[in-house]
Amino acid sequence: MRSVPTTSLDLTSPEVVADPYPHFAAERARHPVAWHEPSGMFLTFDHASVSAVQRDRRLGRIWTDRQPADRLEPFNLLHRNQMMENEPPEHTRLRRPVASAFNRGHIERLRPRVRELAADLLAEVDPSGFDVVGDYAEPLPVLVIADLLGVPRSYASSLRDWSQAIVRMYEVAPSDAVVGAAVSAATDFAALVRELVTERRSRPTDDLISDLVATELSADEVVAAVVLLLNAGHEASVNVFGNGLTAMLQRGLRPGPDVPACVEEMLRFDSALQLFERTATEDVSMGDVLVEEGQKIAALLGAANRDPAVFDRADEFDVARDPNPHLAFGVGVHFCLGAPLARMELAESVSSLWSRFPDLALTDEPESRGTFVLRGFHRVKVGGRAT
């Protein structure tokens, strides 16, 4: 029998999925780190432990192909070649060309386009009632990341569908239907990107795919990088926006004069990414717990971001919170490469929404996506007087 702290927290239960934070608080009061038999890994519940897990280079992202490998090869191919699923030096080799491309001014040049897209989308909604997720939060980041990469806008709807199908595989216990949909989406997604890569090799343009094609990355690695950027650039922004906006509207709040500070609180308060796995490449002591080589440990980002030892009034939404050392983008070598894009995009989309609808309010009960790892809302109906 293990002599380490254990937790029986059911990460798939409707109660935990609906509101994990009271459950995290109860666990945190008992132990910062505990063994979770259902998932076969350790879970971390406080800010210090979650930060330590992400910073310790002995705890790595070690990709193992999902089984059965022959059936899941389209899904596995996209992930084994991603920077997020590898450690240095491979991670560094895969990340450097993407980071270099992001540093060429692509993001800041997109700011006017983000404002234009936001205004166009808001001009089309019905002020008396619209779905702020489906009509605004989802299409905006898809169009932005597609513009950045150079993917034709005609594929925007498909990109959203493929992305959502793939990321459902990251949940604790995906069903056979989820697996089948993810494999199909990965196949179609990769096929489109390969076509675009082939085109850019012969006719480069001013976009990120052309930049990546010109690097030392292999064709599979370029495809994996593009799919990762489209998925991450879409899912994170949608869920941060939807979660944060819903929390604000439920509390009668609106952004203060410092919109970027409000965005940071949206990132902290109801984390879009709740769980990030690592594997021990050697024995690692995590407080009083020994994580043995080969064992997994998960950083629970949402739990860290509500730790009262770090955040005053941790369960309150403070639009002007300062300081705000949340871990929503991670820390260490796997810090989110798209963080500057996400912050710019969120600040512009929040400003545009509240400028257009200064008395915005919920008109119906928000509909959750019902997922734990990638937490978000499927539909959030709102309305208000348009200016």
| Whether 232 is catalytic | yes
- Selecting among 48, 156, 219, 336, the annotated active-site residue is 336
Distances from the Cα of 328 to the Cα of 134, 198, 299, 339, angstroms = 23, 35, 11, 10
Which is the catalytic residue, given 235, 264, 265, 348? 235
**How many residues are present in the chain?**
387
| Tokens at 104, concatenated | 């060429």
Q: What's the gap between Cα 289 and its chain centre?
A: 28
Can you name the residues that pair with 230 across neighbouring β-strands? none
Residue pair 357/384 in contact by the 8 Å Cβ criterion: yes
CB 380 within 8 A of CB 29: no
Q: Are 31 and 46 in contact (CB under 8 A)?
A: no
Please name every residue paired with 49 in a beta bridge, in sequence order, or none if there are none: none
Q: For this structure, is 235 an active site residue?
A: yes
What DSSP line would sit under 315-353, residue for residue? TS--TT-SS----TT--GGG--TTHHHHHHHHHHHHHHH
Sign of CA dihedral 78, 83, 86, 90: positive
Catalytic annotation on 171? Answer: no
Beta strands across the sheet bearing 296-300: 6-7, 33-36, 41-44, 296-300, 275-280, 59-60
Long-range Cβ contacts of 175-179 (<8 Å, 24+ apart): 179/71, 179/72
The token pair at 314 is 């941790």
**Catalytic residue of the set 146, 190, 224, 232:** 232
Q: Name which of 44, 17, 45 is nearest 375 in CA terms.
A: 17
Of 352, 252, 375, give the one whose Cα is nearest residue 302: 375
User: Is residue 345 among the annotated active site residues?
Assistant: yes
Q: Judge contact between 384 and 358, C-beta under 8 A.
A: yes
- What are the φ/ψ torsions at residue 266 (nearest 5 degrees)? -60, -40
Q: Which of 85, 265, 345, 348 is catalytic?
A: 345
Q: Exactly one of 49, 210, 237, 271 is catalytic; which is it?
A: 237
262 included as an active-site residue = no
Q: What is the DSSP string of 240-251?
A: HHHHHHHHHHHT
Active site residues: 232, 235, 237, 336, 345
